[in-house]
Structures are given as structure tokens and as C-alpha cells.
Structure 1
Amino acid sequence: MNVLAFADTPYYEPVYTEKKIDMVFLLGDIDYPVIRQIHRDYKEKCPILGVLGNHDGPDFFEDTSITDIHGKVLEINGVTIAGFGGSPVYNKRKYCQYEEHEVKTFVDTVETVDFFLAHSNPVVDWYTSINPSHAGFQSFNDYIQRAQPKHFFHGHLHEHYSYQIASTQLHAVYPYKYFSF
């Protein structure tokens, strides 16, 4: 399976690959015009699934073929995918900021999936002192330890790297990355 993932993308750079893209993942904080361009480029080619980030508007996926997977578990082409957008609460803005208990309520209902899509990160030692909005959700860590999804994708940190928690491969995406599984 070939996946193209985008996160925290302020500009669009066409991604060229000779391989067929099977799914596109949007991990939040992607500028509105960029979302529209990704939709135009991939809507006829493959499913596009996404979650919104803490800087996105509630209407960013409207009038597109993008499936908002926030708070859902779906099966597409034999692959199970769950998602949770937004970040921890850090200011008075009400949209796409969540309390820890809200994340826990959702992830406690999710069994093992192939792909979990999130905007925010799990709590990781090297990011706990950055700022409250990037502290991550402990409930993601608890879910990963309990259910061990195959892959957990997130954005939000404006860095690209992969790491592992238990048997789950985590992928921090910025601004985009091609994956082949």
C-alpha cells in the first residue's frame, strides 16, 4: 500500500512518484487552498481521509471528496483507519482543541486498526517542555499500549521523523511524506 501524508502544510508542492498512490492522509493545519489543490489532484485517483488541526476552520473539508475521519473508525479497501483531530486546549478558541477526557472517551472505543490518523502527537519525553499546545495526549499513549495499531500518523510538531512505541510505528509528518507498506 502506498500512502501520501500531509501535515502543517502552508504551501502546495506537487508530489511526483511513479508509484500509484492508494490513499492520501491529511493530518491537519493544512492551508485551505492547499486542501483544495490536494482534493483536485487526488479525488479521482484514491480515497482522501483527514483530520483537522488546531489552526483549521470547521469547513475546510466541505464541498470536497475528503472523508473527515475525526472520531470515526472506517474500513476502506480492507484497511481499518481511525482518526482524531485537533490539539490539547491551550487558548480560548473552542474549535479543534480537546480536553484529555474527550480523547480518552474516543480511543477507549477503538480496537486495533491498521492506521490511526491524528493531528496532535502522543506524549513524548522530548516534547513535553515545548509548549502546552504541543504536549500531546496521554490517551494516545494509552491507546497505543493497549491496542497497538500498526501505524500512528500525526503532524503538529513541524518535524518529520519516525519512532516506535511498543509494536506501533509512529510517523510525525511535515510537510508531506510518501510511505510504502
Structure 2
Amino acid sequence: MKIMAIADEEKRAFWDYFDKSRFADVDLIISCGDLKASYLDFLVSMTNKPLLYVHGNHDQDYRRKSPQGCTCIEDRVYDFHGLRILGLGGSVRYNQGIFQYTEEEMSRRIRRVNNAIALRGGIDMLVTHAPAKGYGDMEDLPHWGFACFNDLIRRWKPKYMLHGHVHLSYGGDRFHVHEVGTRIINAYECYELEVGDEDHPPEGKTGSALYDLYVSMSRKRNK
């Protein structure tokens, strides 16, 4: 499947010069935060593609009007045709913003969702706004990465991590991708990702008997 990951800056080629053919082979759009709700509204309505999102630290307006036609995956594991995606938005706390967290607060969020991960036999993709500590973060407090993301990656070994928050336009030694067993991808503005069938179990065949039974029963109900 092809995933279009976006974050932080609206891409002018999409926003001002929209061409639907650009999304013809895209299966899923994922927003890693700090994008206008109207931008996400526009993309999901114009492309007719599913769009998942987490919050960035500047997305407080989502409390007033969330993106329409899109799916928030905060603190949950979302199954997209067998691809198990965990969403954990927000940044390190540097003021009183609503989508900001201390290291301990983010660790508690992870602990609360661990049972859901275990039920599904793991995760294939982690979607965040902030980076993991030491992989694409910066030295100033607002752009620190979370060390607990590293612990989560070591425990569950997702194939991919998508994040935003650190703009590649900030300069310095900035990269879209870090390889640490998990491929950590900075989705700043736009990043296209091909996910192979080998990167996640077939839908309903995770090896977790209870979850696979749930998927099988859901399929029967939806026929």
C-alpha cells in the first residue's frame, strides 16, 4: 500500500495547485500534526482517500473544530487492512499548551495502550508528532524527543515510525529518515511511503487468537 504522510507545513502543490491524479495510487493519508483542519478537510474531500491524524502542539483549534471526514487515532491502535497503527500525538511540555506532555505523562499514555497493542499481537507503525529522543530532535526544549518512544520501539519493534514537529527547513543536520531497526521518518510537509505486504501480517492473521477472531466476526457482520 502507498501512504502519504504529511506534517507541519501545508504543501503548496496540494493546497494551491491541486491535482487529483497526484493521489491516484495513494491508499491512505496520515497527518502527524500541526496542519490546519481546513487543509485536512480539503485533502480528504478532494482525494476521497481515508485520512488518519494525531495532534501537533499547535492544533488547539481542533478542540473547537476538528478535521471533518478524518479519523483521530490518538491513544489507540487503528487497523488499516492489517496494518496496525498506534497514534500518540503532542510534543514535550514547554508551556501550558493542551497537546504537550512531560516525559512521565507520555509514558503513562503508552502504559495505558500497551494492553491494546498486546491484544493485537503488536504494532506495525507508530504515528507521533514529536520525534524519539536522539533521532531527529533538537537541543531546545520545545523540540526535544521523547525517550519513552525509544522504549516503545524496543519493546514492540514496529516497522515504521512517522513523526513531524522538527521542520527540515530549520537547517543543520536534518534528515527525513533514520534507520534503527524501525524506520523513523520525519513527515515534514510530505513523505511518500510504500508499505509492502511483508511489513505487516495479513488482515485477521496477527497470531493473536482473540483479536483475529474479532476481525473474522466483524467481517461476517459487514458482509
Out of 84, 94, 116, the position equivalent to 2:126 is 116
Q: CA separation of 1:142/1:60 partners in 2, compared to 1, >3 Å: closer, same or farther?
A: farther
Out of 14, 21, 25, the position equivalent to 2:26 is 21
Aligned residues: 176
Counterpart of 2:95 in structure 1 is 91
Asked if the contact 2:161/2:184 (under 8 Å) is kept, the reply is: yes
TM-score (normalizing by structure 2): 0.72
Report the Cα distance in structure 2 between the residues aligned to 1:172 and 1:125, rounded to whole angstroms. 10
Q: CA separation of 1:63/1:119 partners in 2, compared to 1, >3 Å: closer, same or farther?
A: closer
Report the Cα distance in structure 1 between the residues aligned to 2:54 and 2:189, rounded to whole angstroms. 15
3-state SS in 2 of match to 1:20: coil
Q: Amino acid of the residue matched to residue 98 of structure 1?
A: Y
Report the Cα distance in structure 2 between the residues aligned to 1:48 and 1:60, rounded to whole angstroms. 19
Residue 55 of structure 1 and its aligned partner are, at CA, apart by: 0.5
Report the Cα distance in structure 1 between the residues aligned to 2:86 and 2:145, rounded to whole angstroms. 17
Q: Deviations over 1:94-148 (max 9, x none)?
A: x10012122212323145311111000000166342x111111111011111111
Counterpart of 2:184 in structure 1 is 170
Counterpart of 1:145 in structure 2 is 154
Residue 31 of structure 1 and its aligned partner are, at CA, apart by: 2.2
Q: CA separation of 1:63/1:3 partners in 2, compared to 1, >3 Å: closer, same or farther?
A: closer
Q: Amino acid of the residue matched to residue 133 of structure 2?
A: V
Asked if the contact 2:41/2:70 (under 8 Å) is kept, the reply is: no
Gaps of 5+ in 1: none
Larger Rg: 2
Residue 54 of structure 1 and its aligned partner are, at CA, apart by: 0.2
Sequence identity percentage? 27
Q: Amino acid of the residue matched to residue 35 of structure 1?
A: L
The structure carrying a bigger helix percent of its residues is 2
Q: Amino acid of the residue matched to residue 169 of structure 1?
A: R
Q: CA separation of 1:10/1:162 partners in 2, compared to 1, >3 Å: closer, same or farther?
A: same
Gaps of 5+ in 2: 169-174, 196-223
Counterpart of 2:143 in structure 1 is 134
Q: Amino acid of the residue matched to residue 8 of structure 1?
A: D
Counterpart of 2:73 in structure 1 is 69
Root-mean-square deviation (CA, aligned residues, Å) is 2.1
Query: Which aligned runs of 4 or more in structure 1 are off by greater than 4 angstroms?
Result: none
Out of 136, 155, 176, the position equivalent to 1:161 is 176
3-state SS in 2 of match to 1:64: coil
Do residues 82 (structure 1) and 92 (structure 2) align?
Answer: no
Report the Cα distance in structure 2 between the residues aligned to 1:91 and 1:146, rounded to whole angstroms. 30
Q: Amino acid of the residue matched to residue 194 of structure 2?
A: S
Report the Cα distance in structure 2 between the residues aligned to 1:163 and 1:120, rounded to whole angstroms. 14
The structure carrying a bigger strand percent of its residues is 1
Report the Cα distance in structure 2 between the residues aligned to 1:152 and 1:143, rounded to whole angstroms. 11
